[in-house]
Structure 1
Amino acid sequence: MSDLYARHRGVLPDWLALYYEEPLEITHGEGRHVWDSEGNKYLDFFGGILTTMTAHALPEVTKAVAEQAGRIVHSSTLYLNRPMVELAERIAHISGIPDARVFFTTSGTEANDTALLLATTHRRSNTVLAMRNSYHGRSFSAVGITGNRGWSPTSLSPLQTLYVHGGVRGRGPFAGLDDAAFVDACVADLKDLLGHTRAPAALIAEPIQGVGGFTSPPDGLYAAFREVLDEHGILWIADEVQTGWGRTGEHFWGWQAHGRNGPPDIVTFAKGIGNGMSVGGVIARSEIMNCLDANSISTFGGTQITMAAALANLSYLLEHDLQGNARRVGGLLIERLRAAAAQDPGVREVRGRGLMIGVELTRPGTGLADPDRASAVLEAARADGLLIGKGGGHDTSALRVAPPLSLTVAEAEEGAAILESALRSTR
C-alpha cells in the first residue's frame, strides 16, 4: 500500500485529496460491503460519494454492462443510440417537467455546466444566483458558482454570481427564527438582492447541500423563492446530483419538498443513476433545451455501455421500491444516530432525510466546528469496519452517511453501532 501511495504522490496533483492517514485501496465490493487490498471488509456508508446508489456488483447492472460491452461500447452522439433514447424517455417521464428533453453528460460537473450554458443563453444574462455553502462541481464555471470556500480555489469566473441565504438552516443571521419566519426572511433577502442587480439568468440550488454537510432549508423555501423568480422570468435549476432517484425517501426528487409551484425549469443529475458508471445529465423544457443555435455533440455523454448500466439500475430501483426502503431504513438509522448523539455534547445536530444523513460535530460549549474530531471519527469508524464521508463548510466538521439504497435493517443497526463507538472513543 505504501508503494502505491508513493506512486500516487509522484504523478497525481497535490490537491487530489485522499481519505485516511493510511489511504485505502478498495479492490472489490458486493452489496453494501467493500474489501481493501489487504483483505479487510468494510460496511460502505458512502458509496463512492453517493454514487454506488443501489449496491456493489449488482447482478442486474453487471449483466447489462457485460452484454452491452459484447455488442458495442461507444459510438458518440453522432449516431442513433437505442439505450440512450430509452433512458431519456424514462427520465423525461419521471422528471415531472412538461415536454422534457434530456441531454446526457459524463458527470455532475458537466451537467451543471450544461445547465448554466442553457440558462444564460435562454435568458441572455451571465448573472447567476447560487446558495451560500453550495457545491456544484470542479470545472471553471461550476467553481465560479460554488458557495463553499473550501471547494472554490479561484474567484475568477465567466459568470457574475450572487449568493442567497437559506441553504443552511441552523447557522447564519436567520438561524434563530422559526421555520416560517426563516423562509420569510430568506425571501425578503432575495427580493432585496434582485433590486440591486440586473435580472439573473437562474437560481441554481441543491435541495439538500451535499458537500456542504447535508444541510437543507425548511420545506417550501424554494417554492417561495420560485414565486419571486417567476415575477422576474428567472429560471430555477435544481441540482439533484446527490439528492435524486429516491435517496431522500420521502420524495423521488429533492425538489419535490419545495414543489407546490410545479417542477424546476432545469434539473441536473449524475452519481447514483449509473451505480458507479459515469452518467450525468440535464432535463429541461424543450424551449430551454433547444435554445442553443450552434452545433453541439457529446463524445462520451450517453455512450451505450453507461446507458445500459443506468437503464438496468433505474429499473431495479423502481421495481424494488428502493425509495421506500430509503425512507424506512433511513428513518431507523437517523433515530438510532440521534439517540447516540443525545449522549454526546460534541454532536450539534443529526439531520437528513432517508439515506442522506449528516452528523455535525462542534467543540462542546462553543458552537465552533470541530474538523479534527471529524477526522478522528472517520479513522475510528474505518478501524471498526465502516466507511463514511465528511463535509460541511470550510471547516469540514460534518460526517456524511449515505449508504446504498438497498441497505438492510441489520446493516443499519451494525453501522450505527460502529459510528456510536467511534464517537464515544473520540470524545
Structure 2
Amino acid sequence: MTADAPRGGAVREPARGPDEDLHRRHRAVLPDWLALYYADPVELTHGEGRHVWDADGNRYLDFFGGILTTMTAHALPEVTRAVSEQAARLNHSSTLYLNRPMVDLAERIATLSGIPDARVFFTTSGTEANDTALLLATAYRRSNQILAMRNSYHGRSFSAVGITGNKGWSPTSLSPLQTLYVHGGVRTRGPYAGLDDAGFIAACVADLEDLLGHARAPAALIAEPVQGVGGFTSPPDGLYAAFREVLQEHGILWITDEVQTGWGRTGDHFWGWQAHGQSGPPDILTFAKGIGNGMSVGGVVARAEVMNCLDANSLSTFGGTQVTMAAGLANLTHLLEHDLQGSARKVGALLIERLRTATAGFPGVREVRGRGLMIGIELVRPGTDRADPGAVAAVLEAARRGGLLIGRGGGHSTSVLRIAPPLSLTAAEAEEGAAILERALRDSL
C-alpha cells in the first residue's frame, strides 16, 4: 500500500494540479458555507489504522477521525467484512419490514444505555437523532420550550440550530422552539469561572432555578456532557446530576447528547452522562458518529413511555438499514472485545500529560483540557484572555505539513485545537502526534 509514500516527518507541499482542479469544481457546485480545512484543501483517498493518505501519496497520522467518526480504526477488517457480506445479500428494506441486524444492534445499545425499559430508534446522523429527541420531548411534555447550554452544538437542521448555543454554528434566530440557555457547559470562562467546583455547581443550579421561575413549562434540558464543537469544554463532574434533581421536581426531561462523547471516548465512562450519574440515567440519549465507524448511523434511546408517546404513524427510510446496522454491530463488538474504552483512558492520559508538558512554555496556550481521547488546546493572544483564531489556523496548517490532521472549534471564536484520534491509538502514535503538534505550535506561536 503506497510503498513510496513518506513514512514520517514533513509531507510534500500540496499539488497544484488535480487537487486544485477538484477544489475549483467544489467551489463551483457546492455551497459557499460548506467548510473546508486548509488553504489548499486535502483530498483523502484511503486509510488504514490511525493513518490516512492523500491524493499525492502523503501519509498523515489522523487525530480527528472524520470529526470523531472513525472511532476504532480506518479500514477495520471486521467492519469492512460485515459491510461487504451484508451488501452481497441485501442493502436496504426500510423499517416497514423486520430487520434482524437492526434488532440485534438495538438490543445491545438498549442494554448499554443504562436507561430502564429502553427503546431505540435509528437515524442517519446526530442531527437527525437530536431532532427526534426534541420531537419526543416536546410531544411528551406538550411544550415547545427547551433548555439548552450556552456554547452548545446539536446539529445543522432547523430545529437543532434553534437550540445551538454557539453563534458560529447558528445561522438564524428563527426556530420552531423557544430556547432558554443555561450556564455551566464551560468551566473556565464566564461569570462563575473563579469559583471552586462546588461553588460553580451551586451557582449554575441557582441560575437554573431562577430561570425556571420565569419559564412556563420547559419540555427538556438537552446537554452535551463534553461540548464538542464548543472546544471540548465540560463542567465539573456532578453538575448534570444536580441539574437533574431540579428538573425532576418540575417534570422536565433530561436529554444527553452523546454524539461525540459516547462509546467510551472519554475513557473513564462509556457514556458522558455517567460522570454525572448520581441521579440516575437520562430520560433520552442520542448517539451517532463513532458507532458506524464512518457509516451513517445515529439514534435515540428513551424509556418506553417517552419513546412511545407519539400518536401518529412514522418510519425511517434509511435509519437502521441493513448495511449500516451490520457495520455498527461489527464495530461495537470490536470496541468491547478489545476494551477500547480502557485504551482511551490510558493512552488519552499519556497524551494529555505529554501535551501539557510540551505547551507549558507557550504564552499563547491558555489551557490543555480533555477526557480520554477527547482533548482540546485553547489558544489566546499572549498576555490576554482573548481568543486567537489566526493562531489556530496557523497551527492547523503547520500540523498538516508535519503529517498530522487535527480539528478546530471553540465558543466565542474558533480558538481551540481539537484532538480526537481513533480509540485504538497506540502510545507510540500518541507520542509521534504530540511531537508533531509541539513543533507546529513552536513554529506558529
For 2:185, give the aligned amino acid: G
Give a deviation string over 1:88-140, Cα, whole Å, max 9, x none: 00000110000000000000000000000000000000000000000000000
Partner of 2:436: 418
Secondary structure of the corresponding residue to residue 325 of structure 1: helix
What are the within-5 Å matches in structure 2 for residues 30-41 of structure 1?
30-41=48-59
Residues 1:359 and 2:380 aligned together: no
Question: How many angstroms does 1:192 deviate by?
Answer: 0.1
Give a deviation string over 1:194-235, Cα, whole Å, max 9, x none: 000101000000000000000000000000000000000000
- Pairing partner for 2:44 from 26, 51, 55: 26
- Pairing partner for 1:243 from 233, 258, 261: 261
What are the within-5 Å matches in structure 2 for residues 374-413 of structure 1?
374-413=392-431
Question: How many angstroms does 1:394 deviate by?
Answer: 3.9
For residues 296 and 106 of structure 2, the distance between their equivalents in structure 1, rounded to whole angstroms, comes to 16
For 1:131, give the aligned amino acid: M
Partner of 1:313: 331
Question: How many angstroms does 1:18 deviate by?
Answer: 0.1
For residues 298 and 379 of structure 2, the distance between their equivalents in structure 1, rounded to whole angstroms, comes to 32
For 1:363, give the aligned amino acid: R
For 2:195, give the aligned amino acid: L
CA RMSD of the aligned region, Å? 0.4
Residues 1:74 and 2:103 aligned together: no
For 1:58, give the aligned amino acid: L
Partner of 2:16: none
Partner of 1:175: 193
Residues 1:342 and 2:378 aligned together: no
Q: Check whether the contact 2:68–2:421 (CA below 8 A) recurs between aligned residues.
A: yes
- Pairing partner for 1:108 from 126, 145, 150: 126
Partner of 1:56: 74
What are the within-5 Å matches in structure 2 for residues 104-183 of structure 1?
104-183=122-201
**TM-score, scaled relative to structure 2:** 0.96
Partner of 1:289: 307
Question: How many angstroms does 1:146 deviate by?
Answer: 0.1
For 2:255, give the aligned amino acid: I
Partner of 2:8: none
What are the within-5 Å matches in structure 2 for residues 176-195 of structure 1?
176-195=194-213
For 2:226, give the aligned amino acid: I
How many equivalent pairs are there? 427
- Pairing partner for 1:304 from 309, 313, 322: 322
Structure 1 alignment gaps of length 5 or more: none
Question: How many angstroms does 1:395 deviate by?
Answer: 1.1
For residues 283 and 415 of structure 1, the distance between their equivalents in structure 2, rounded to whole angstroms, comes to 35
For 1:50, give the aligned amino acid: L
Partner of 2:4: none
Question: How many angstroms does 1:379 deviate by?
Answer: 0.2
For residues 101 and 252 of structure 2, the distance between their equivalents in structure 1, rounded to whole angstroms, comes to 34
For residues 173 and 95 of structure 1, the distance between their equivalents in structure 2, rounded to whole angstroms, comes to 34
Question: How many angstroms does 1:341 deviate by?
Answer: 1.4
- Pairing partner for 2:61 from 43, 68, 76: 43
Secondary structure of the corresponding residue to residue 381 of structure 2: coil
Give a deviation string over 1:282-321, Cα, whole Å, max 9, x none: 0000000000000000000000000000000000000000
For residues 367 and 261 of structure 1, the distance between their equivalents in structure 2, rounded to whole angstroms, comes to 35
Residues 1:261 and 2:279 aligned together: yes
Structure 2 alignment gaps of length 5 or more: 1-18
For residues 261 and 130 of structure 1, the distance between their equivalents in structure 2, rounded to whole angstroms, comes to 19
For residues 197 and 42 of structure 1, the distance between their equivalents in structure 2, rounded to whole angstroms, comes to 50
Partner of 1:11: 29
Partner of 2:101: 83
Question: How many angstroms does 1:367 deviate by?
Answer: 0.6
Partner of 1:210: 228
Consecutive aligned runs of 4 or more in structure 1 exceeding 4 Å deviation: none
For residues 382 and 194 of structure 2, the distance between their equivalents in structure 1, rounded to whole angstroms, comes to 19
Secondary structure of the corresponding residue to residue 101 of structure 2: helix
Secondary structure of the corresponding residue to residue 231 of structure 1: helix
Question: How many angstroms does 1:337 deviate by?
Answer: 0.2
For residues 25 and 397 of structure 1, the distance between their equivalents in structure 2, rounded to whole angstroms, comes to 25
**Most deviating of 198-207 and 390-399:** 390-399
Secondary structure of the corresponding residue to residue 350 of structure 1: strand
**TM-score, scaled relative to structure 1:** 1.00
For residues 261 and 87 of structure 2, the distance between their equivalents in structure 1, rounded to whole angstroms, comes to 29
For 1:154, give the aligned amino acid: T
For residues 21 and 360 of structure 2, the distance between their equivalents in structure 1, rounded to whole angstroms, comes to 42
For residues 353 and 174 of structure 1, the distance between their equivalents in structure 2, rounded to whole angstroms, comes to 22
For residues 366 and 217 of structure 2, the distance between their equivalents in structure 1, rounded to whole angstroms, comes to 38
Q: Check whether the contact 2:182–2:208 (CA below 8 A) recurs between aligned residues.
A: yes
For 1:337, give the aligned amino acid: L
For residues 183 and 342 of structure 1, the distance between their equivalents in structure 2, rounded to whole angstroms, comes to 28
For residues 439 and 361 of structure 2, the distance between their equivalents in structure 1, rounded to whole angstroms, comes to 12
Give a deviation string over 1:325-356, Cα, whole Å, max 9, x none: 00000000000000011111110000000000
Partner of 2:10: none
